[in-house]
Structure 1
Amino acid sequence: MDPNRTAGSAEAAPGTSVGKIFAEMPLTRQHLKAGFALFFAFVIEAWEMLILSYVSTPIEAEFSVGPTSIGFLLSAMFFGMIPGALAWGWWVDRNGRKPACIISLGSYGVISALSALAPNYWMLWGLRFFSGIALAGILVTVFLYFEELVPVRYRGRATVFLAAGWPFGTLIAVGVSAGLLDVLGWRWVLFISSLSGLWALVVWKWAPESPYWAVRHGRIEQARAAVSWLSRGTIRPTGPLTMPEVSTQGTSGLRSRRLLVMTGVQAVINFSLSWGYWGLQTWLPGLLAQRGLSLPDSYAFIAISAVFMIPGYLAASWLTGRIGRKRVFLIFVFFGAVGGLTFAYSDSLVWLYVGNFMMSFFAQGAWGVWDTWLGEIYPTSSRGKGYSIGITAQRVANAVAPSMIGLLIAISVGFTPTVVFIEAFFLVALVFALALPETEGVELD
């Protein structure tokens, strides 16, 4: 269909708000193209965040370091993401969603390729730190960007689908590591992973700038073009486009008392969810070894667990449009914690699988809803900054957890106490989520 056609077009009324346009917009093939571009950007995020965990054994041997140093190396990217997320949150609100994704992916690819050439432990650590700064742009931007491209009635379900990129990234990381590590070595594994930075070209081609952001910054023609493209010409705005005034936000966008409280709440939730998930995943091969699984068996275990994440996302996506973000999140976090405790107290391989599969299904479904819910709390003018604070809280947990869990393993605390300590943080997230409002079906402002 020609996006420039006029016959049969539904003209937006003068002064129509962008939120109203997206409330009436049909879902089109263009949304699917933009969604796939951003979906695989998140796949790359997961792939890169996990890949070093799966090649850490030969790195440990080559650089003659121990578990505590490897835990610190696994944390390097997350230390970089802490200042990176805050910087990108400000940048994406000021300069746009699309350039943030493109620059983030492209710069990550270059830095990650250099890390494959690192001559020693500290050079590798430093390059991983800077790749974290670069890649934080995707993590801050991709969900709020997609939310601002999708019709209101599809926003929750579609954005939870976007979160399903995590298990696909996990499977790619496992597949690349298992298939190439013994043949090519860890350096080639990192280099091949870095080539995913070329995906920035697909984002540039298939994802328009957010009309919400464009109107908020006075770029009306850019917003009109994006709306027309996304709707495949069925909506072609000719009059002024508007956004609600958010006068209570001040210059920082986060100065109202309500948003300050919600920002504190979401930061605790983000930290707790990340600790509960990442603290386990980064040391899963080592923890499984304590239950008698070899490294190949651990790869298989992780791969099968990743497959179980996918129906978790699908179930959460289906449910959020029916019972809302809040109920789905609370239910899934609760059962994710139950799965974690089952995993912790398992006395056989069967129960080890059952516990981890429950955790994979429910915890990742909860993450999918949360990634959607978080961005909807904030107005467009401060959505990037608000999201970046949550991402920063996640990265603090991600940075601290591997070293802390590595220390617990090094001093032989034991499998069950270590996993229970990790999973207790899910319950903290459950309690704090009770304070947040429901946002299912609400127009973005």
Structure 2
Amino acid sequence: MPQLPAWGWRVAFLIGALPALSVAYLRRRLPESPRYLDITGKYDEALAVLRIFERAAGLPFTNVTFTPSPQRPSFIEQFRAIWSRRLVRRTLMLWLLWFGIVFAYYGVFTWLPSLLVERGLTVARSFSYVFVTTLAQLPGYFSAAYLVDRWGRKATLVIYLIGSAVSAWLLGNAGTAPVLVLWGCLLSFFNLGAWGVVYTYTPELYPTPLRGFGSGAAASFGRLAGIIAPYLTPWLLTSGGLSQPAVFALFMAVFVLIAVDVLLLGEETRGRPLEHAVPVTGGAR
């Protein structure tokens, strides 16, 4: 496969890192979850945040009393908890989902500029085409955000994953660079729409004491695929002897498999209070 100049990816990563500067502002201005403050014993802070919410909603202040929460579990205890009989189905579904969606995303989009260069485009032109495909992510996110509360998390996610599978197959069989960009935009739309649902869906499947750990564990397992996929794609195209359509058929299969994973193992959380999605112990009364 053609190699891109070193400065190409460095500049792209530098630009992509700029939004991280907003973290300092968000750290100071974004209120912490009252549920989290409750289970960590920070009752005064939890009450202050509730007051902010009530004031913004124009509601009268309510009297809230807190009951002591259990001691924060250790890493091992939390790991055992997410794989307990009560949560094993959800955890298995999420780990497979995260691994598959990260694998397919990085397997395709990390090498998309090189694939465009292979079709005869210059490096500069290939990055401009990739930028166009990236713009398709925005309507993907917004459309998924609109649909999750109408179709539900599970249905929206499955539909967007199937859309990603079809787009991956079309992308792998594109004959020219403009057609490749067209199907790349479609894949970008569906894939990043699915990502948006995943970020909403994942924390809703765990109780408050395990929400951060469970979500982080699933995402961390997925990041292993983010390490594997960028190396596997060029290997399959060179040493592996597979054609480009065959490699993209592999990504299509991954999207289909995780769609089936969600369809069979996923649970709908739309319209269900977090207390009902998973029983929560301790907390405010």
Q: Bin the TM-score by the shorter chain.
A: 0.7 to 0.9
Mapped to 2, the partners of 1:243 and 1:442 lie a distance apart of: 25
Mapped to 2, the partners of 1:441 and 1:392 lie a distance apart of: 28
Question: What letter matches 1:396 in structure 2?
Answer: L
Partner of 1:210: 33
Other structure's SS at 2:226 match: helix
Q: Cα offset for 1:406?
A: 2.6
Q: Are 2:266 and 1:436 aligned?
A: yes
Q: Does the CA contact (< 8 Å) of 1:224 and 1:237 recur in 2?
A: no
Q: Cα offset for 1:349?
A: 3.2
Q: Cα offset for 1:367?
A: 1.1
Inter-CA distance 345–441: structure 2 relative to 1 (3 Å threshold): same
Q: Does the CA contact (< 8 Å) of 1:212 and 1:243 recur in 2?
A: no
Partner of 1:366: 194
Inter-CA distance 368–196: structure 2 relative to 1 (3 Å threshold): closer
Q: Cα offset for 1:227?
A: 1.7
Q: Cα offset for 1:269?
A: 1.0
**What are the ranges of 5 or more consecutive residues in structure 1 without an aligned counterpart?**
1-54, 60-176
Mapped to 2, the partners of 1:271 and 1:190 lie a distance apart of: 22
Q: Cα offset for 1:352?
A: 1.4
Mapped to 2, the partners of 1:279 and 1:266 lie a distance apart of: 19
Question: What letter matches 2:245 in structure 1?
Answer: T
Mapped to 1, the partners of 2:209 and 2:146 lie a distance apart of: 29
Question: What letter matches 1:227 in structure 2?
Answer: L
Partner of 1:314: 142
Matches within 5 A, 1:273-292: 273-292=101-120
Q: Cα offset for 1:274?
A: 0.9
Q: Does the CA contact (< 8 Å) of 2:37 and 2:46 recur in 1?
A: yes
Partner of 2:183: 355
Q: Are 2:161 and 1:336 aligned?
A: no
Q: What are the Cα deviations for residues 274-298 of structure 1, in whole angstroms up to 9, with x where unaligned?
A: 1111111111111222222221121
Q: What are the Cα deviations for residues 264-323 of structure 1, in whole angstroms up to 9, with x where unaligned?
A: 121011111111111111111112222222211211111111111111111111111111
Inter-CA distance 420–324: structure 2 relative to 1 (3 Å threshold): same
Other structure's SS at 1:387 match: helix
Q: Cα offset for 1:402?
A: 0.9
TM-score by length of 1: 0.54
Matches within 5 A, 1:187-198: 197-198=20-21
Inter-CA distance 405–255: structure 2 relative to 1 (3 Å threshold): closer
Partner of 2:65: 240
Question: What letter matches 1:219 in structure 2?
Answer: K
Q: Cα offset for 1:377?
A: 0.3
Mapped to 1, the partners of 2:173 and 2:17 lie a distance apart of: 38
Matches within 5 A, 1:26-65: 57-58=5-6
Q: Cα offset for 1:441?
A: 1.5
Q: What are the Cα deviations for residues 381-430 of structure 1, in whole angstroms up to 9, with x where unaligned?
A: 00111112211221110011111113224436332222222332111111
TM-score by length of 2: 0.82
Q: Does the CA contact (< 8 Å) of 1:263 and 1:389 recur in 2?
A: no
**What are the ranges of 5 or more consecutive residues in structure 2 without an aligned counterpart?**
71-75, 276-285
Q: Are 2:212 and 1:381 aligned?
A: no
Q: Does the CA contact (< 8 Å) of 1:290 and 1:415 recur in 2?
A: no
Mapped to 2, the partners of 1:365 and 1:189 lie a distance apart of: 22
Mapped to 2, the partners of 1:194 and 1:328 lie a distance apart of: 30
Q: Cα offset for 1:218?
A: 2.3
Question: What letter matches 1:388 in structure 2?
Answer: G
Q: Are 2:27 and 1:199 aligned?
A: no
Q: Does the CA contact (< 8 Å) of 1:335 and 1:362 recur in 2?
A: yes
Q: Are 2:92 and 1:264 aligned?
A: yes
Other structure's SS at 2:269 match: coil
Mapped to 1, the partners of 2:179 and 2:234 lie a distance apart of: 24
Partner of 1:29: none
Q: Does the CA contact (< 8 Å) of 1:254 and 1:382 recur in 2?
A: yes
Mapped to 2, the partners of 1:361 and 1:287 lie a distance apart of: 19
Q: Does the CA contact (< 8 Å) of 1:270 and 1:393 recur in 2?
A: yes
Inter-CA distance 218–329: structure 2 relative to 1 (3 Å threshold): same
Q: Does the CA contact (< 8 Å) of 2:236 and 2:242 recur in 1?
A: yes
Question: What letter matches 2:26 in structure 1?
Answer: V
Mapped to 2, the partners of 1:231 and 1:301 lie a distance apart of: 47
Mapped to 2, the partners of 1:297 and 1:437 lie a distance apart of: 44
Question: What letter matches 2:49 in structure 1?
Answer: A
Other structure's SS at 1:440 match: coil
Other structure's SS at 1:257 match: coil
Question: What letter matches 2:207 in structure 1?
Answer: P
Q: Cα offset for 1:191?
A: 6.5
Question: What letter matches 2:256 in structure 1?
Answer: L
Partner of 1:32: none
Q: Does the CA contact (< 8 Å) of 2:43 and 2:66 recur in 1?
A: yes
Which stretch shows the higher mean deviation, 226-235 or 398-407?
226-235
Mapped to 1, the partners of 2:153 and 2:106 lie a distance apart of: 23
Partner of 1:224: 47
Matches within 5 A, 1:418-437: 418-434=247-263, 435-437=265-267
Question: What letter matches 2:163 in structure 1?
Answer: F
Mapped to 1, the partners of 2:195 and 2:68 lie a distance apart of: 29
